[in-house]
Amino acid sequence: MNNWKEHPWMGVFAATLCAFHQDESLDEAGLRAYIRELTAVPGLKGLVPNGHTGEIMSLREHERAEVTRIFAEEVAKSGKPLKVISGVCGEGSLSAIDHARAAKQAGADGILLMPPHHWLRFGRSSAEAVGFIADVAEGADINIVVHQYPAWTKAGYTLKEMLEMVKIPQVKCIKMGTRDMARWLWDYEQLKAANPEVAIITCHDEYLLPTLLEAGDGALIGFAGFAPELMIELVQACLEGDLPRAKKAQQTVAPLARLIYNFGEPGCAAHQRMKAAKWLLGSFPSPVFRRPVRPLPEAEMERLRDGLKAIGLEPVR
């Protein structure tokens, strides 16, 4: 982990929110303002639009490329060496290749490649799991961050499968979301032994500190698109082995995580609370989440207001 500052795929990557008008159309001006806010924060390695935090499932295909283009343009304007890594979700290899090519054309430096979601229901063979990554790598020839899903799902990759994936030259990083701490260190050690250059980064927003203290090369998290300075402080303290500094940052992170994640994993409800909380704080243009998600009840908005106040953050809405 001592080379994380120089390594292009290690450090903190922010999974970003997406801004919408009241009619659910893309709010380009609001999105650009949000991106400029993030690019001004020192310490980020990259921005990740079109992830689950960015509501990829509700975006039309052309909108995914449009969002990527907007991010690439704003990052270029900033002059910062930030990567733009666009989420890609396709139910088949050809679909994923098309999306990856569109992201590449729109200016993405890489893609966050999610597994086909029909696997969640029907499962898949190891040949299909590894073959899917290889297909997209060959068909789009773009840098790939492999999105590892929780171990309890049928779409989660085994260690044996990931050991094959890190042999693929385009695979630069694994966003490790197993949420199985018994596997975490073992998987990390085996993957680093197989290919030390592939970054293994956590997406465990809800227990970031214990994950990173055990092993990890950084984090790709929605929390970094919500409170980037705080996440950078916590992650970098862990990567530098500074436990007192990391625990101090965790004192603010922990109650904020409980407020947003409500003792659960990152998911649609948590991402909606994150967007609403950022809007309440006056740092996001709208709390609108696209359908089929419905607006948060006023009682939930009041809970967010009270929770933010309790940790010293003052809502302005």
The residue to which tokens 């101090």 are assigned: 248
Tell me the pLDDT band of 197, cut-offs 50, 70 and 90: very high
- Report percent pLDDT > 70 for the chain: 99
How, if at all, do strands 110-113 and 44-48 pair?
Answer: unpaired
147 φ, ψ (degrees, to nearest 5): -95, 105
Q: List pLDDT tens digits, range 270-292.
A: 999 999 999 999 999 999 999 99
Q: Is residue 215 part of a domain?
A: yes
Q: Is residue 169 part of a domain?
A: yes
| DSSP letter assigned to residue 176 | E
Peptide bond into 292 cis (omega under 30): yes
Q: Is residue 99 part of a domain?
A: yes
Q: Count how many domains the chain has.
A: 1
- Please give the pLDDT value at position 265: 86
Query: Which residues, 6 or more positions from 84, have their beta carbon under 8 angstroms from its beta carbon?
Result: 46, 47, 49, 68, 71, 72, 75, 107, 108, 109, 110
Cβ contact 290:57 at 8 Å: no
Q: Is residue 267 part of a domain?
A: no
Tell me the pLDDT band of 2, cut-offs 50, 70 and 90: low
| DSSP letter assigned to residue 72 | H
- Please give the pLDDT value at position 33: 98
Segments forming the whole domain that contains residue 168: 11-242
Q: Is residue 59 part of a domain?
A: yes
CA separation for the pair 25, 3 (Å, rounded):
42
What is the model's pTM?
0.97
Tell me the pLDDT band of 263, cut-offs 50, 70 and 90: confident
Average confidence (pLDDT) over 247-251: 94
- The angle that helices 126-140 and 93-105 make with each other, rounded to 10 degrees, is 30
Q: Which of 267, 161, 175, 169 is nearest to 220 (CA)?
A: 175
- Please give the pLDDT value at position 207: 85
Q: Is residue 141 part of a domain?
A: yes
| DSSP letter assigned to residue 294 | P
Output the domain CATH number for residue 114.
Answer: 3.20.20.70
Rounded-to-10 torsion of CA 215, 221, 223, 224: 90
Average confidence (pLDDT) over 249-266: 91
CA separation for the pair 232, 8 (Å, rounded):
16
Q: Is residue 284 part of a domain?
A: no
- Please give the pLDDT value at position 206: 85
- Please give the pLDDT value at position 196: 97
Average pLDDT for the chain? 96
Q: List pLDDT tens digits, range 153-190.
A: 999 999 999 999 999 999 999 999 999 999 999 999 99
CA separation for the pair 193, 163 (Å, rounded):
10
